[in-house]
A and B are shown apart, each in its own frame.
Chain A
Amino acid sequence: MGTIRFRFIMVALVVSFFAVGMAAFLNYFKYKSTINNIVKSRVLVVGRGIENTVQASLQLGMQFAELQQLPQMMAREKSADRLVRAIDVFDTSGQILYSTDSGRVGQKVPTVWTSAAQRSKSTEWSTDETDDLVAGISIKNAFDLTVGYLALRYSREEVERAATTAGREIMLAALASFVALAIVAPLALIVVIRRFERDLRTLEAAASHLEDRNQPPPAAGSAFDGAINHLRASLREANKALDDLRAKLDAAG
């Protein structure tokens, strides 16, 4: 029965590893995505302020390509929150019209930005496929035509740093739990397995006494008692019938 014991304990360990591992993994990812969302919404608050200004100017009849006050305003907003690295405003073809980083004006934004913007169902969009994280707002005009986009770049650092600290702690907790589990669970299992093994042993013992007619049934308590008794009863019956036959044969001479 040694191998059975070992195998069941293996099962316990594998399942515990899976369960504890999944739980830790879920907690970690939830944490990471929550932090991500918090940081992203912070950035978008800044973005909305800028979008508001752009909309007000568009409403007044200014052309999207001629918003002269915009760079100033963008610089002001950027300095308000240290998280934001750079702010770009670009048109539908991807060409940057205004930027807090003046060198970028005239360049094209990465295509993932425009595709993320177009894929989004609302005016807000984001992408994490580039080095920096980007959150953006699509700017629509008074008849719902998209005239351009606003993109705020912020560093992954804040999120990553928070995630690694938390991740480490969660993993430690998970590891500790798993180790404790690996010690406690097998012990508990063995209690159950022992009963199982004892049943099987009783079974084998009883089997070796199957044909003993005079042996009283061994101390019961195993789950197989019923079966063993049936076996003995069946054999007894058959033997009795054969004894009867024997007797009748003998009586007949």
Chain B
Amino acid sequence: MKFVRILLALGIASALLAADGNAQTSQRPYRIYAITFRGMTDVERGFQDYFTSHRIPVQITFRDLNRDASRMPGFLEEIKRTRPDLIYTWGTSVTLGVVGTYDGYDPAVNITDIPVVFTLVAAPVLAKIVPDLKSPRRNVTGVFHVAPTEAQIRAMQSYRPFKSIGILYTPTEQNSVVVVDEVREVSKRMGFSVIAKPLKLDASKKVTAEGAPEMIRDLKAQNVDWLYLPPDSYLGTQAKNVIIPAAMEARLPTFASTEQLMETGALTGLVSRYSQIGQFTAYKAEQILVNKVPASKIPVETLTRFSLQVRMDVAEALRLPPPLPMFNYAELLNAPKEPAAQ
């Protein structure tokens, strides 16, 4: 009888141990609170895919601003109540809404004690989200998606070497002005000239596309080899209808610095795939959640490799086929409609 009791005890003990072990191996899922600006994009899909393929258990709560900033306080309150393990923010305005600038945030409103990972912010330092890309020095890190200016210039070079490039930009957009300056700096180092024409401002100091086609014609007359389209929101709205057609007429190849600009019809551009951005953001999240690295020690980075997109119909129209090696790695869009004349 005693023997049986001992066996029973051993049996229960081992069952308990096994159960306990089991409970420990099945990790409780990490809770992520994700705020998007305009609904689900490829970024979010990439974000989720990374966790799936790396078998990291996550439970993501998606909240969408739907371009309405007034929803933000409600989300912030929910965050403080539910206390997720990580917050994910899409875009500059969402991120600023959650964490504020590094030198002017409000501890009562903004989140400081839960790590935040941002994505699709074009210029984190300029937007004052972090003081320095290499060391964020706050509980915020993330991924930016615009290819470094030098990489873009080099991409242009590899398509066709050039001696001079022209730029149209919005003088009231801080982003744009900074990029134009960066291009000038690269031009000094790489030895080419830059002709940058600001778009005109109307009587109420708002930017207008008036006179843009003439400016493009002038640029062509001044012998620029390329027209560079900086990451400029106003320009983005005008590109498809005004800028690109004028450039095509002047037979000027155009280079897009963002995916939206590329979509408007530029010849070529260096874009980051949103799904890759999403995956990279998830990678940063993994560092915080699984590897327990504090967000302040994770640098803000972008992809190391970007997609070089080429519109083949535009190339054919301009009679500027991409160089042969590019066919190996570029993403080719829009086969020309008729077979090319041999």
Complex contact flag A–B (Cβ < 8 Å): yes
| Residue among B272, B274, B301, B307 with the highest chain A CB neighbour number at 10 A | B307
CB pair A59 B307 closer than 8 Å: yes
A62 to chain B, nearest CB (A): 9
Closest residue of A by beta carbon distance from B332: A56
Q: Are A143 and B303 in contact (CB under 8 A)?
A: yes
Once bound together, how far apart are the Cα atoms of A143 and B274, in whole Å? Answer: 13
**Chain A residue nearest to B330 in the complex (CB):** A56
B328 neighbours in A (Cβ, 8 Å):
52
A142 touches B304 (CB 8 A): yes
Q: Specify which chain A residues have a CB less than 8 angstroms from the CB of B274 in the assembled complex.
A: 61
Known: A61-B46, A61-B273, A61-B276. A142 touches B306 (CB 8 A): yes
Say whether B176 faces chain A, with CB atoms less than 8 Å apart. no
Q: Say whether, besides A59-B273, A59-B331, A142 and B53 are in contact (CB < 8 Å).
A: no
Query: Which B residue sits closest to A59, measured CB to CB?
Result: B307
Contact among A55, A56, A59, A63 with B53 in the assembled complex (CB-CB below 8 Å): A63
Pair A64/B276 contact, Cβ less than 8 Å = no
Contact (Cβ within 8 A) B276 A52:
no
CB of B280 within 8 A of CB of A61, answer no
Are A142 and B273 closer than 8 Å at their CB atoms?
Answer: yes
Closest Cβ of chain A to B325, distance in Å, is: 11
A56 to B330, CA, bound (A): 8
B280 touches A143 (CB 8 A): yes
B275 at the interface (CB under 8 A from A): yes
Residue of B nearest to A92 (CB): B54
Q: Is B3 an interface residue (CB 8 A)?
A: no
Q: Are A143 and B304 in contact (CB under 8 A)?
A: yes
The residues of B that contact A141 with a CB separation of less than 8 Å are 276, 279, 305
Q: Contact partner of B49 among A55, A63, A144, CB < 8 A?
A: A63
Alpha-carbon gap, A63 to B306, bound state (A): 17
Q: Which residues of B contact A63 (CB under 8 A)?
A: 49, 53
Once A52-B329, A61-B42, A61-B46 are accepted as A-B contacts, the answer to whether A145 and B283 lie under 8 Å apart by CB is yes
Q: Which of A55, A56, A61, A144 contacts B275 (CB 8 A)?
A: A61
* Range of interface residues on B (Cβ < 8 Å): 20 to 34
Give the distance in Å from the alpha carbon of A175 to the alpha carbon of B233 in the complex.
80
Docked-complex contact B273 and A143, CB < 8 angstroms: no
Q: Residue of B at shortest CB range from A52? A: B328
Task: Report the minimal beta-carbon distance from B24 to chain A, rounded to whole angstroms.
Answer: 22
Q: Let me know if A60 is at the binding interface, CB within 8 A.
A: yes
Question: Within the complex, which residue of A56, A65, A143 is in contact with B276, where a contact is CB–CB below 8 Å?
Answer: A143
- By beta carbon, the residue of chain A nearest B301 is A143
Do residues B49 and A142 form an inter-chain contact, with CB atoms below 8 A?
A: no
Count chain A residues whose beta carbon lies closer than 8 angstroms to a beta carbon of B: 15
Residues of chain B within 8 A (CB-CB) of A55 are 329
Tell me the complex Cα distance, A3–B42, Å.
90
Query: Which of B46, B301, B305, B331 counts the most A-chain CB atoms under 10 A from its CB?
Result: B305
With A142-B303, A143-B301 known to touch, is A60 a contact of B283 (CB < 8 Å)? no
Q: Output the least CB separation between B142 and chain A (Å).
A: 13
B331 touches which of A52, A56, A142, A144 (Cβ 8 Å) = A56
Expressed in whole angstroms, the Cα–Cα distance for A60 and B275 within the complex equals 8
**Cβ–Cβ < 8 Å partners of B303 in chain A:** 142-143
Q: A60 touching B53 by the CB < 8 A rule? A: no
Known contacts A142-B280, A143-B301, A143-B304: does B331 contact A60 (CB below 8 Å)? yes
Chain A residues, Cβ within 8 Å of B306: 142
Chain A residues with CB below 8 A from B273, complex form: 59-61, 142
A55 to B304, CA, bound (A): 14
Within the complex, what minimum Cβ distance (angstroms) separates A153 from chain B?
Answer: 24
A59-B273, A141-B276, A141-B279 known; A64 vs B304 contact (CB < 8 Å) = no
Contacts of A64 in B (CB 8 A): 53
A142 to B147, CA, bound (A): 12
When distances are taken between beta carbons in the complex, the residues of chain B under 8 Å from A52 are 328-329
Q: Mark B31-53, 1 if CB is under 8 A from A, else 0.
A: 00000000000100010010001
What is the bound-complex CA distance between A209 and B280, given in angstroms?
100
Q: Which residues of B contact A56 (CB under 8 A)?
A: 329, 331
Q: Are A143 and B53 interface neighbours, CB within 8 A? A: no
Residues of A within 8 A of B305 (CB): 141-144
Measured in the bound complex, the distance between the Cα atoms of B307 and A110 in whole Å is: 34
- Chain A residues with Cβ below 8 Å from B301 are 143
Are A143's CB and B283's CB within 8 A?
A: yes
Question: 7 smallest A-B Cβ distances: which pairs?
Answer: A61-B275, A142-B276, A142-B303, A142-B305, A143-B280, A144-B304, A59-B307
Q: List 13 A-B contacts (CB under 8 A).
A: A58-B276, A60-B273, A60-B331, A61-B273, A65-B53, A141-B276, A142-B280, A142-B303, A142-B306, A143-B280, A143-B301, A143-B305, A144-B305
Chain A interface (Cβ within 8 Å of chain B)? 52, 55-56, 58-61, 63-65, 141-145
Q: Which residues of B contact A (CB under 8 A)?
A: 42, 46, 49, 53, 272-276, 279-280, 283, 301, 303-307, 328-329, 331
17 A-B pairs besides A52-B329, A63-B49 with CB distance below 8 A are: A56-B331, A58-B276, A61-B42, A61-B273, A61-B274, A61-B275, A64-B53, A65-B53, A142-B273, A142-B304, A142-B305, A142-B306, A143-B280, A143-B283, A143-B304, A143-B305, A144-B304
